[in-house]
């Protein structure tokens, strides 16, 4: 019993000595500083400063409530890169909704690893239902082991980079030190109380402001929790991004190949501090533009006008008899695109052979120029063709559908027929000819709706002189949708390469396994 008493006394004496050594210098500085200020005559002028600032901090903290985690979004919401499909883009809302629903997090729960696993599982289940309509027990069934590991690797790697760049001392503080941080904060709180009480000896009026000072200190805790919320929102955002990539099938070849192909474009979409990056600089892959339309719609004239004064290499698209390919340099861009000149289809219907050719061109195309005669109202075959293109990509949702630009030709035959004084601005019509062009575009828009991305009006005939700007409308639309088309081209090339390498990868895996068991 006596030994226990001596031990307690030893502990108490040790605590008192250390406490005095820590607080005595601070108390001395406060006393000397207060005396110096008193000597200058400024003491009574600035004595209100501390309680005034604490009062302002308490009032702001009271009126400006800290947002919950679902309101603490770090940077912009998750956005779709150019190579994402419509199904991928619609999955963004699932991620954002979950970020709003997730429970609040603070300094105590941030260290709970089960919290990360649970939220990751819930988000993966919701995305699995979106992509594969899987139940809770089956949401892992369509996935490979490589895809699951790739998500973990990519999300953790991105989060690691963000922590290194954004959190001071993250490369120095150990887990043990972080776990001791609440104790350190409590110890500092005790020191602050002692210093405050000690300084009140020189100014007893400060004791009246003590409750206000304690409430203002909560603002620091709120700021700390806000930083923690931002970190966790970053985790959810990166996790959601790569879960979308996983369910889309783009992680099937592993994180290394994904990084080499998509990392720069994906950074545009989910990095907070990056501006938009042009797709022109990301890949040397050629974008394919299919020119389609009815017989006598002016399709061949448009192709000839686009290729004017250009040396074009021409061959036949594989697996077709009459779809020819031309190399075309888009004016005002460094991109070299491939133009597919497809056979014209009949006004009333699309034959089976024509349909096969069109389907093959649609599968290959990253952008479609759908050529129509502006003076004709026969659009049934065009509508059937667009339905077939939509069906091709509905059956293969992992690919990005091409942008469809309707190009209205024969605009010289619109009313008033005898009037011809280009250039014409049909988007802001003033002349009768411009109003007729705008009406033709409006009619096509009512028929096709959101199946068409944009419209252009051109003249490529021989009855009137063709000025240098006759193709400006269609070229400007091609340039505007070039990033979308290039993203679709990269996606197709990725899956094509993935399919070609599948057998080679399997062979190497079997060989490595055989070597390991020998």
Same domain, 77 and 40: no
Domain end point (choices 239, 269, 299): 269
Q: Please report, for the domain that includes residue 412, its CATH number.
A: 3.40.50.300
Are both 489 and 360 inside the same structural domain? yes
Yes or no: say if 433 and 425 are a contact pair by the CB < 8 Å rule. no
Does 258 lie in the same domain as 209?
yes
Both 177 and 246 in one domain: the answer is yes
Q: Prior bond to 385 cis, omega within 30? A: no
- Mark whether 102 and 206 lie in a shared domain: yes
Q: How far apart are CA 223 and CA 137, in angstroms?
A: 40
CA distance 386 to 377: 16
Domain of 45, in residue numbers: 13-63
Give φ, ψ of 99 to 5 degrees.
-60, -30
Are residues 162 and 132 part of one domain?
yes
Residue 88 burial by CB count (10 A; 0-12/13-18/19+): exposed, middle or buried? buried
CB-based contacts of 505, cutoff 8 Å, min separation 6: 253
CA of 195: how far to CAs of 28, 220, 221, 302, 471, in Å?
Answer: 10, 18, 20, 84, 78
Listing from the earlier edge strand, what are the strands of the sheet with 403-409? Answer: 315-316, 324-329, 336-341, 288-293, 367-373, 403-409, 454-457
- Of the two residues 439 and 57, the one the predictor is more confident about is 439
- Per DSSP, the residues of 345-357 read B-SS---HHHHHH
What per-residue confidence (pLDDT) applies to 70? Answer: 42
Q: What is the mean pLDDT of residues 291-305?
A: 87
241-274: b (≥16 Cβ within 10 Å) or e: bbbbbbbbbbbbbbbebbeebbebbbebbbbeee
pLDDT band at 487 (very low <50, low <70, confident <90, very high): confident
Regarding whether 79 and 50 lie in a shared domain, the answer is no
| Together in a domain, 166 and 111 | yes
Can you tell me the mean pLDDT for 11-15?
56
Confidence of residue 401 (pLDDT cuts 50, 70, 90): very high
- The answer as to whether 336 is a domain residue is yes
Neighbours of 138 (CB within 10 A): 13
CA–CA dist 494, 257 (Å, integer): 10
User: Which tops the pLDDT comparison, 114 or 439?
Assistant: 439
Confidence of residue 156 (pLDDT cuts 50, 70, 90): confident
Does the residue 4 lie in any domain? Answer: no
pLDDT at residue 278 above 50?
Answer: no
Residue listed under structure tokens 């290499």: 313
The residue with greater pLDDT, 64 or 96, is 96
Q: Are residues 35 and 91 in the same domain?
A: no
Tokens representing residue 474 in the block: 């269609």
- Give φ, ψ of 463 to 5 degrees: -80, -25
335: three-class secondary structure by DSSP: coil
Provide mean pLDDT across the span 444-454. Answer: 93
Write down the pLDDT at residue 145.
87
Residue 457 to residue 453: CA distance in whole angstroms: 14
Using a cut of 0.85, tell me whether the model's pTM lies above it: no
User: Is there a single domain that holds both residue 240 and residue 97?
Assistant: yes
Of the CA atoms within 13 Å of residue 455, those in its CB half-sphere come to: 23
* Within a domain: 68: no
Region 262-267: mean pLDDT is 57
Q: Are residues 338 and 257 in the same domain?
A: no
Query: Are the CB atoms for 469 and 462 separated by under 8 Å?
Result: no
Alpha-carbon distance 32 to 30, whole Å? 6
More confident residue, 184 or 130: 130
Q: Give the tens place of pLDDT for each residue, 73-88.
A: 444 678 888 788 989 9
204 and 254 inside one domain: yes
- What pLDDT does residue 408 have? 96
Q: How confident is the model at residue 280 (pLDDT cuts 50, 70, 90)?
A: very low
Q: What pLDDT is stored for residue 275 in this prediction?
A: 37
In a domain, 278, yes or no: no
Report the number of distinct structural domains present in the chain: 3
The pLDDT of 470-476, averaged and rounded, is 86
């Amino acid at each position: 019993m006596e030994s226990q008493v001596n031990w307690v006394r030893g502990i108490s004496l040790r605590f008192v000595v250390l406490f005095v050594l820590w607080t005595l210098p601070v108390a001395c500085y406060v006393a000397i500083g207060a005396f110096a200020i008193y000597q200058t005559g400024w003491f009574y002028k600035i004595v209100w400063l501390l309680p005034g600032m604490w009062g302002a901090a308490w009032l702001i903290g009271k009126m400006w409530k800290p947002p919950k985690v679902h309101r603490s979004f770090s940077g912009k919401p998750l956005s779709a890169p150019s190579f994402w499909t419509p199904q991928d883009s619609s999955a963004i809302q699932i991620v954002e909704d979950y970020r709003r629903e997730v429970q609040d997090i603070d300094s105590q729960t941030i260290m709970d690893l089960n919290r990360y696993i649970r939220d990751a599982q819930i988000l993966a289940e919701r995305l699995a239902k979106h992509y594969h309509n899987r139940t809770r027990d089956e949401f892992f069934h369509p996935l490979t082991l490589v895809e699951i590991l790739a998500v973990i690797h990519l999300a953790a790697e991105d989060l690691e980079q963000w922590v290194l760049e954004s959190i001071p001392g993250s490369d120095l503080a150990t887990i043990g030190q972080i776990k001791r941080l609440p104790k350190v904060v409590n110890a500092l709180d005790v020191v602050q109380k002692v210093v405050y009480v000690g300084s009140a000896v020189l100014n007893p009026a400060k004791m009246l402001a003590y409750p206000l000072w304690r409430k203002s200190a909560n603002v620091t805790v709120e700021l700390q929790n806000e930083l923690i919320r931002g970190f966790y929102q970053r985790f959810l955002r990166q996790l959601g991004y790569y879960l979308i990539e996983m369910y889309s099938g783009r992680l099937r070849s592993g994180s290394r190949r994904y990084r080499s192909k998509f990392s720069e474009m994906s950074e545009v979409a989910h990095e907070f501090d990056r501006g938009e990056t042009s797709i022109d600089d990301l890949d040397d892959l050629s974008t394919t533009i299919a020119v389609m339309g009815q017989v006598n719609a002016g399709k061949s004239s448009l192709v000839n006008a686009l290729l004017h004064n250009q040396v074009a290499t021409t061959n036949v698209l594989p697996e077709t008899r009459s779809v020819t390919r031309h190399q075309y340099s888009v004016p005002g861009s460094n991109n070299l695109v491939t133009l597919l000149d497809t056979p014209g289809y009949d006004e009333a219907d699309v034959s089976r052979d024509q349909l096969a050719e069109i389907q093959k061109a649609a599968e290959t195309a990253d952008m479609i120029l759908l050529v129509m005669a502006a003076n004709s109202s026969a659009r049934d075959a065009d509508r059937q063709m667009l339905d077939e293109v939509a069906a091709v990509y509905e059956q293969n949702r992992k690919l990005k559908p091409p942008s469809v630009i309707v190009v209205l030709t024969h605009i010289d035959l619109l009313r008033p027929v005898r009037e011809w004084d280009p250039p014409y601005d049909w988007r802001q019509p003033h002349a009768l000819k411009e109003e007729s062009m705008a009406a033709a575009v409006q009619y096509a828009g009512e028929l096709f709706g959101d199946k068409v991305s944009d419209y252009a009006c051109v003249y490529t005939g021989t009855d009137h002189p063709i000025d240098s700007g006759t193709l400006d409308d269609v070229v400007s639309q091609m340039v505007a949708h070039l990033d979308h088309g290039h993203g679709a081209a990269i996606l197709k090339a990725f899956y094509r390469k993935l399919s070609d390498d599948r057998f080679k990868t399997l062979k190497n895996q079997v060989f490595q396994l055989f070597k390991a068991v020998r």
